[in-house]
Chain A
Amino acid sequence: MLMRIGFRNVLRQKRRSVLTVLTMFGGFTLAAISIGWSDGTYSNIIEMFTRDRLGHIQVHHEGYLDRPSLYKTIDDSEAVGAIISDIEGVEQWTPRVFSSGLASAGEKSAGVQIIGIDPSRESATTHFDKKIISGRTFSTEAAREVVLGQGLGEILKVSPGDSVVIVSQGADGSIANDIYVLVGLVDAGDKMTNQTAFYLHLHDAQELLVLEGRVHEIAIVAEDLKEVVELAEVIQGKIADPKLVVEPWQVFARAFYQAMKADQQGTWIMLLLIMLVVAVGVLNTVLMTVLERTREFGVLRAVGTAPSQIIRLVIFEITVMAIIGIILGCGASYLVNYWLSIEGVALPTAFTYGGMEYDRMFTEINARSFYIPALTVLFSAMLVSIFPAIKAARIAPARAMRIR
């Protein structure tokens, strides 16, 4: 019966109920879109940073990331790769070799980072072929070809078809040097990498550095970005080699991850502000309800309604309005987020990353963008109802019934 009274009271004060529901609906929708936008943007950026370059998960020899060394290698990369391929949730993997050297072309020379890649795997994993801005990517088989970062190409003043000499150190202690034909220039994603990236076919790099069959890194792309931490643990378990360390991007790109997390705090502050607006709107409604119905609450108390039942009645009425606001908000925010996830939002200034131009950011539809606003609206509505509800429950019946 108290629920019936609650429902009918919501319907009785139609205008006020509609305004309250609209406040909650507005708060929910803003919050849901804001979370969808925030998550979508971060996913976009994380995808750019990891998927197009670093990978979601990396495998290294123990200690390699802290102190990189030519000798800290994954000795049987094909075998490790085969294990990784069989793990559910792994989309692609690609091996890499790293070293430093001095590149020269004609009168020009520059310090470079040699990066040996498997062209097919790298393209499948990080879209390497799409980053070529001039010339072409590697031939499938090793053919003494080199691809340079576009900045390095400018430093060395070379273009596809020119020869480039590299000098480095082999793993056997010998001086490693060779000459390669420049086949393409690549936008590696950032200025520093563009000015130092010296890409070789994996087999050419292994031959140059005397690293037969060995690599320094295996980069893995997961099917689901949100599952990388768990997936890294699974891979670590399957590889079962204590000398190899499997880490998700949150660990090997710790600084980036922490910067992202700090940035996301801003979203919570905005959410808090939205909820504050909702809470104020709801509080106004509940206070008015209690004030206007003082006499009714007095009668309910007089005929034997327990104080706890009055509290439940007031909170129930607000909860009914909150649920209606949430249901409407779910529908509206789903439509808006869906549309923005397809159409995106145009950025004021487009930017290029990894050879790809980004002129739009997209929202994301996920469970968070529904349950966080829903819980927040419900919680804040119920929270601000408690004090007026207690006030209603403590009404002195005799005094309340004197109010006209």
Chain B
Amino acid sequence: MNVQNNNSVILTENVTKEYHDNGVAVHALNGISMSIERGEFTAIVGPSGSGKTTFLNIISGLDRLTQGKTWLAGKLLSEMSGRELSDFRRDHIGFIFQAYNLIPVLTVEENVEYIMLLQGVPKTERRERVHGVLEQVGLEGYADRLPTRLSGGQQQRVAVARAIVSRPALVLADEPTANLDSHTAVGLIEMMRDLNQESGMTFLFSTHDVRIMERARRLIVLEDGRIARDEIQAAAAGRQA
């Protein structure tokens, strides 16, 4: 099913996720309905166990929901097979994980190039885009290094480069600054906000980081798997404008 005439990148309707932990039913998400528009820079916040990461996993098709519906870039995820979801993620979503999750045996350049290779982007274009994006994230000159020879901040920059290089409709960042020192974290947040403003790429964060919250245009607060608050931050919006 396609959602027509809609500027939403993400649309959810009564999303519920229930799982069992040692035989006990846990309601990770309890009927979340919301929409994320194109070009947003939004943070989902809440205490540990509030369902932030689960929500990100559900809307990206990394996890299956128990009830409800999720549309991503106009496509209903529950109608897709595992293979279709793989292809869809490859073409429409960029991921930034807390633990970087780079492929350890590939160099910086190869990690960034990998998704475009899956997409079948021609070699010349791949190389151009990789070098362009590495320059954007300030990692020119690091192309041939393996992730193990980079600092945490540098690795997360590679992860950002990997997430944006294929120009996805949505970048999902799960606690992207959790493992970084304050200076590096601020630099990374600023860089992502610049990317958002320059390219109009949609960013959705799951975070505890106040610095991200301060810079997010929209803040969605989750508590016990429910949206407790959903607000536009005037200050951030003003800064963006």
Contacts and interface: CB of A to CB of B under 8 A. Distances in A.
Interface of A: 1, 4-5, 8-9, 12, 295-296, 299-307, 309, 396-399, 401, 404
B237 interface: no
The 7 closest A-B pairs by CB, nearest first: A304-B90, A8-B105, A398-B62, A398-B63, A398-B57, A299-B101, A397-B62
B235 interface: no
A30 to B, nearest CB: 32
Interface stretch (B36-44, B113-121, B131-139, B177-185): B113-121
16 contacts: A1-B110, A1-B113, A1-B114, A12-B105, A299-B97, A302-B62, A302-B95, A303-B118, A304-B86, A304-B89, A304-B90, A306-B86, A309-B118, A396-B63, A397-B62, A401-B97
Task: Give the size range of B's interface with the partner.
Answer: 20 to 34
Interface string B52-83: 00000100101100000000000000000011
A5 B118 contact: no
Contacts of B90: 303-305
Contact of B87 (A12, A295, A304): A304
Given A4-B110, A303-B114, A296 B103 contact: yes
Nearest to A402: B53
A304 B106 contact: no
Nearest to B54: A398
B103 A5 contact: yes
A299 B103 contact: yes
B104 A12 contact: yes
Contacts of B118: 303-306, 309
A301 B86 contact: yes
Contacts of B91: 304
Nearest to A400: B62
A307 B85 CA distance: 11
A356 to B, nearest CB: 61
A87 to B, nearest CB: 60
A303 B63 contact: no
Interface in B92-112: 95, 97, 99, 101, 103-106, 110
Task: Point out which of B86, B99, B113, B118 has the most chain A C-beta atoms below 10 A from its C-beta.
Answer: B86
Given A299-B101, A304-B86, A396-B62, 15 more contacts: A4-B106, A4-B110, A8-B105, A12-B104, A12-B105, A295-B101, A296-B103, A302-B101, A303-B118, A304-B119, A306-B118, A396-B63, A397-B62, A401-B62, A401-B101
Contact of B162 (A5, A9, A303, A307): A303
Interface residues of chain B: helix, strand, loop or mixed (majority): helix
Given A296-B104, A300-B103, A307 B97 contact: no
Contacts of B103: 5, 296, 299-300
Contacts of A299: 97, 101, 103
Given A303-B115, A304-B118, A9 B87 contact: no
Given A303-B114, A397-B62, A5 B106 contact: yes
Contacts of B95: 302-303
Nearest to B89: A304
B129 to A, nearest CB: 15
Contacts of A300: 103
Nearest to B90: A304
Contacts of B83: 306-307
Nearest to A5: B105
A396 B90 CA distance: 16
Nearest to B116: A1
Contacts of B97: 299, 401
A295 B87 CA distance: 19
Contacts of A404: 99
A5 B106 CA distance: 7
Contacts of B86: 301, 304-307
Contacts of A302: 60, 62, 89, 95, 101
B89 A303 contact: yes
B82 A307 contact: yes
A301 B57 CA distance: 13
A1 B121 CA distance: 13
Contacts of B63: 396, 398-399
Contacts of B87: 304, 306
A309 B113 CA distance: 16
Nearest to A306: B86
A311 to B, nearest CB: 12
A1 to B, nearest CB: 5
Contacts of B114: 1, 303
A202 B90 CA distance: 87
Contact of A1 (B57, B62, B117, B162): B117
A304 B60 CA distance: 11
A306 B87 CA distance: 7
B64 to A, nearest CB: 9
Contacts of A8: 105-106
B109 to A, nearest CB: 11
